[in-house]
Amino acid sequence: MTGMYNVLEKLRGGEELTDKERVIHEQGLVSVLKQIHDDLDTAVADAYGWPVDLPDEEILERLVALNHERAEEEKRGLVRWLRPEFQNPKGQNPDGKTQQTIATEETKAKPTKKGKAKVKKQPWPKTLSEQAAAVQGALAAIAAPADVKTVAAAFTRANKDRIGELLETLASLGRARRLDDGRFVAV
């Protein structure tokens, strides 16, 4: 795993890879790892309303400022729960007031009559990195343990064998978890 991240850093720095690093790059699917990290960086920047290309120092300054804001809110009794059913199942502050839930795509999804959020089928991407990101996104959108067939149903013209391989890859990278019954869940 360390070797994969070392190769990733070299790629990001524009450095040339040695023969050994090229093998790690190919076997470890480092391009998929890079795409996942890039997508995550973009999603986080979008969530905060920040430019994607902020220098690390400015990101750190902004995070420290946000942490101070959060601490002040909590002093006033406002706690923003992402998953209140786990973090605060009683739904109350020490002062007895109801907590605020942070809106996420999952909490915004409209359930169908059967109680599950309807997921629109998307076209199967052409490149491996796009496929990996799409499979990871579909698994997260399903928000329940899912087998290859269930994940494949999120796409038009998807290759089930490829989806199975990508789910295994995501699990090996810690981006999904394989259950004993063969199904996968997003991490």
Q: Is residue 147 part of a domain?
A: yes
Lowest mean pLDDT among 1-10, 15-24, 83-92, 150-159: 83-92
Is pLDDT at 40 greater than 60 in this prediction? yes
User: Mean pLDDT lowest for which of 69-83, 84-98, 115-129?
Assistant: 84-98
| d(C-alpha 63, C-alpha 78), whole Å | 19
Residue 179 lies in a domain: yes
The answer on pLDDT for 167 being more than 90 is yes
The answer to whether the pTM exceeds 0.75 is no
Q: Among 53, 71, 87, give the residue marking a domain's end.
A: 53
**Which domain, by its residues, includes 176?**
122-186
Average pLDDT, the chain: 81
For residues 45 and 142, is the Cβ–Cβ distance under 8 A?
no
**145 and 130 in a common domain:** yes
* Domain match, 59 and 49 both: no
| Domain co-membership, 61 together with 30 | no
pLDDT of 46 strictly over 70: yes
pLDDT at 95 over 60: no
Of residues 72 and 107, more confidently modeled: 72
C-alpha distances out from residue 52 to 44, 66, 96, 157, 183, Å: 9, 17, 39, 32, 34
The answer on 39 and 2 residing in a single domain is: yes
Q: Pick from 25, 53, 31: which is nearest to 41 by CA? A: 53
Residues 132 and 182 both lie in one domain:
yes
What 3-state class would DSSP assign to 177? strand
Do 61 and 47 fall within a single domain? no
Give the CATH number for residue 178: 1.10.10
Q: For helices 30-48 and 128-142, what crossing angle results, to 10°?
A: 50
3-state secondary structure 74-127: HHCCCCEECCHHHHCCCCECCCCCECEECCCHHHHCCECCCCCECCCCEECCCC
State how far the alpha carbon of 138 is from the alpha carbons of 87, 146, 148, in Å.
25, 10, 11
* Dihedrals phi, psi of 103, to nearest 5 degrees: -75, 130
3-state secondary structure of 184: strand
- For residues 135 and 150, state if they share a domain: yes
Q: Is the pLDDT of residue 147 over 90?
A: yes
Q: Is the pLDDT of residue 105 over 60?
A: no
> Both 161 and 171 in a single domain?
yes
